[in-house]
Homo-oligomer: A and B are copies of this chain.
């Protein structure tokens, strides 16, 4: 098999797609990056801007260009950010706005997946469009593409915010706070406090270990959920984290590293669900995408939240049908 430089296609280059593109250019993972957008001028402009930057010191000569769906045929990774964002100030709310967005982006993801899957049967398709879990569910269950290779950024960023909030309380680097948000990438996702670990110590032992005031589950949950909304309210959008999240997944797939973090995937037997919901749950990620879904044990508080978040996601899926 001839040497094949890895190729990325990005579908949609608004705020989030731009963050994905910038991060991908600097990642060292790709020899070729194709940018696709319904706004062809925007796609061309983003690609040209990056094309110029390849001539700067310390920027690699990635072959970056604006293209169309024919260019996805030999892509290894396809990152989809198409469709409008959740509107700022609406708190990513569960109500009418969210259902309306689900309908709009449900239509967009169906059109996008139809374009992709008619041309490419092997790429990993990493979805960032919101409402994330519903969009991933449509892409994963309505099209013929290997199950593990259709996934979403899930609760990676939500988990990062969880770790950040705890890390701020303890005064440590959040990379050393291990913890996961599970379920919806949205307000009903919940922290798996029973799995938190810092320095080998679980959630309930952290206050003593670090000599800080106790951490309260409900208070923390609220602060974590508020973290994303705060960014929205202050600057009008979020972008810094999502590009890194998508690229983190891409790296794990291209290096087959078997990392463990929560991506959005369709449940296949876990928690008594089989193909009726997609959500963020810790997974092992390798060259086949989601190689294993980890059905982590939940305590009572978490189990209640699991039911709630699954119901919320299913309602959003219904709104997109």
Contact = CB atoms under 8 A, between A and B. Distances in A.
Interface in A241-287: 241, 244-245, 248, 251-261, 282, 284, 287
A258 B172 contact: yes
A128 to B, nearest CB: 14
B31 A257 contact: yes
A46 interface: yes
Interface in A159-181: 159-164, 167, 171-180
A46 B5 CA distance: 28
Contacts of A210: 292, 294
Interface in A2-21: 2-6, 19
A3 B126 CA distance: 14
A42 interface: yes
Given A235-B49, A260-B199, A287 B3 contact: yes
A19 B245 CA distance: 18
Interface of A: 1-6, 19, 22, 25-26, 28-32, 41-42, 44-46, 48-63, 74, 76-77, 122-124, 156-157, 159-164, 167, 171-180, 192, 194-202, 205, 209-210, 227-228, 230-231, 233-236, 238-241, 244-245, 248, 251-261, 282, 284, 287-288, 292, 294-297
